[in-house]
Chains A and B, each alone.
Chain A
Amino acid sequence: MRHGFAFALATAVLLVVPIEAAARPPAQQAAQPPAQPASGLPRTPDAKPNLQGIWQVLNTAAWDILDHSARLGVPAGQGVVEGNELPYRPEALSKKRQNFENRATADPDSKGYLLGVPRIMYMPFPFQIFQTPDYVGMTFEYGGAYRTIYTNGTPHLKGPLNFWMGDSRGHWEGDTLVVDVVHFTDETWFDRAGNFHSEGLHLVERFTLADPDHINYEVTIEDPAVFTRPWKMSMPLYRRKERNVQLLEYDPGLLSDQDQAERERKKTN
């Protein structure tokens, strides 16, 4: 049941997110020095790197963020995690193994859920970035999802809140867009392999335009309830260059309803 905003609020109140994650100012979390301003990059009228356009990863992270051999329907792939290791707490590691065993039905992707961040960023579907001085908008072909990254200096909402896509507040460090994300649910995974997080997930994403057609995307993951230390993923985002490129719609939940309705119709006819 999801319709009522009242229900969403009630859920939010019941599921408590650690306040300290929200209260910490974004600037202190990403203490790296600003990237060197690169010349020759496309820029918006307010002189920020112009990240706008349609982008997509070319990797297998949506299936498994770590090194993995091929499985039926899953291409083999090299991991996107720095050090190719996830620092699970022991009890969390057994949950990860259980998730993997049950992935055919337990994966949020199988249920048609919003996939959350960061997984939505590396699904094998295109997404589009829009920039105004106050907001960076992202729309995703997968699930018709969107993200609003506030670059207007506003802090995270007080919470507790549980957003599938999190609460994203960004700022520019030189030519890098740095985004702090909190207020998650614990119902999304990092990949098909069952790597997971709690609702205390805290992300710091860094988007750096390397050249007009590539963004270096890095994300640092912090979740003390599940991991013993922060860890990091990085990958390039590639600009889709087809002349007619355009986001279409892929909504697994609706497609699954339609599939079922088709089967029932055949049965009754």
Chain B
Amino acid sequence: MKDRYVLVVIALIVIITSSWAAAQQPTPGTVGGCPTEPLAFHLCALDKAKTFNPPRTPSGKPNLQGHYRARLAQSYSFEGVSGSEPQFGAKIMPWSLSPPMIVDPPDRKIPYQPWAASIGRVGENYYKYLDPRTGCAQAGVPRVVQQDPNQILQPPTDDYILWLFEDHHMQRVINMNQRPPLGDSIKLYNGYSRGHWDGNTLVIDVTNLNGYDWLDDAGNFHTDAAHIVERLTLFDPDTIHYQVTLEDPKAYTRPWTIVWALVRQKQSGFELMEEPCREGEHDAKRIIRELGVKYYFGESWRGH
């Protein structure tokens, strides 16, 4: 019996390895010449973007192609870590002090409707369900964008943008050719992504989300009614200002916005490796049984 608990602990340690990698403390200094506190970074980067002329593709579109890695993003909680959380300083999977990544609303908290606040934010989700990412589900949008390196490809035909992720071997296809909406009853882990250029900014409109993913380790969430808008803006040759606005009439009282940086990987010959998860978490069933948690398949399972 004791051995089984040891195995669970070992399993947990392995599971969180990549979370830790993505969750390093913000490095002192600057990112793209901007401060590292997310709100200060946000204002500075948008200001720089006003005068920055990005490299162009042959057809004249901003050229975002390359390999990137997230900065100023921590995986614990988009609301930041203040030190009062039970995971702060924990022996296993400790969280470290982090500023909120939310830049709007001004209180930098997720504007949950009352019923939802006790479910996200280290609430019911965190204590009663298995983090879907631990169970090898697609990390979802935008969580996948902060894990491990990614690569943006822009075919010269300008009809699609392909966004590849090392984490869990995931990919997103961004439709750039004004395709019609998908039927409402089709729900997808990563949603249906349609993009367009707003000046030098790539704007991605994501609909048809199934709401089976979490936003962060704290169990913050959206439902299948969510609509996500991502904005990618190069504001210096190697840094993208990445902004995500989430609205969800079932769960939030208003839209809210998070920001982090995507920094170009400049090592010569850098390539994405294959880091798949389709073979599943072999210990998921044991973890579920021993910790008394359940698989998470969205808010509708709770009857809201």
A48-67 vs B, CB cutoff 8 Å, 1 = contact: the mask equals 00101000000000000000
Contacts A7-B14, A145-B169, A258-B297 known; A246 to B164 CB distance under 8 Å? no
Contacts A251-B138, A251-B278 known; A244 to B179 CB distance under 8 Å? yes
In the complex, number of A-B residue pairs with CB atoms less than 8 Å apart: 142
Secondary structure at the B interface, as helix, strand, loop or mixed, is loop
Say if the beta carbon of A241 comes within 8 Å of chain B: no
A253: B residues at CB distance < 8 A: 136, 278-280
- Decide: B279 and A113 in contact? CB cutoff 8 A: yes
- Decide: A1 and B11 in contact? CB cutoff 8 A: yes
Bound complex: CA of A2 vs CA of B166, how far in Å? 13
B20 closest partner in A (C-beta):
A4
Q: How far is the CB of B229 from chain A (nearest CB, A)?
A: 20
B15: A residues at CB distance < 8 A: 1, 3
Q: How far is the CB of A167 from chain B (nearest CB, A)?
A: 9
Secondary structure at the A interface, as helix, strand, loop or mixed, is loop
Bound complex: CA of A191 vs CA of B231, how far in Å? 42
Listed residue (A44, A52, A257) with the most chain B CB atoms within 10 angstroms of its CB: A257
- Decide: B170 and A144 in contact? CB cutoff 8 A: yes
Which one, A8, A137, A265, contacts B162 given CB within 8 A?
A137
- Decide: A139 and B283 in contact? CB cutoff 8 A: no
Say if the beta carbon of A172 comes within 8 Å of chain B: no
- Decide: B295 and A5 in contact? CB cutoff 8 A: no
Say if the beta carbon of A143 comes within 8 Å of chain B: yes
Bound complex: CA of A260 vs CA of B180, how far in Å? 34
- Decide: B279 and A46 in contact? CB cutoff 8 A: no
Residues 147 to 179 of chain B near chain A (Cβ within 8 Å)? 148, 151, 153-157, 159-160, 162, 164, 169-171, 173, 175, 179
A157: B residues at CB distance < 8 A: 271
- State which of A13-21, A95-103, A126-134, A202-210 sits at the interface with chain B: A126-134
Which residues of B are at the interface with A, using a C-beta cutoff of 8 A?
11, 14-18, 21, 58, 65, 135-138, 148, 151, 153-157, 159-160, 162, 164, 169-171, 173, 175, 179-180, 182, 186, 188-190, 192, 269, 271-284, 294-295, 297, 301
10 A–B pairs (Cβ distance < 8 Å), ordered by A:
A3-B14, A45-B156, A50-B157, A128-B173, A133-B156, A148-B272, A150-B271, A246-B175, A254-B189, A257-B137
Which residues of A are at the interface with B, using a C-beta cutoff of 8 A?
1-8, 44-46, 50, 52, 111-114, 128, 130-133, 135, 137, 139, 143-146, 148, 150, 154, 157, 163-165, 244, 246-249, 251, 253-254, 257-258, 260-261, 264-265
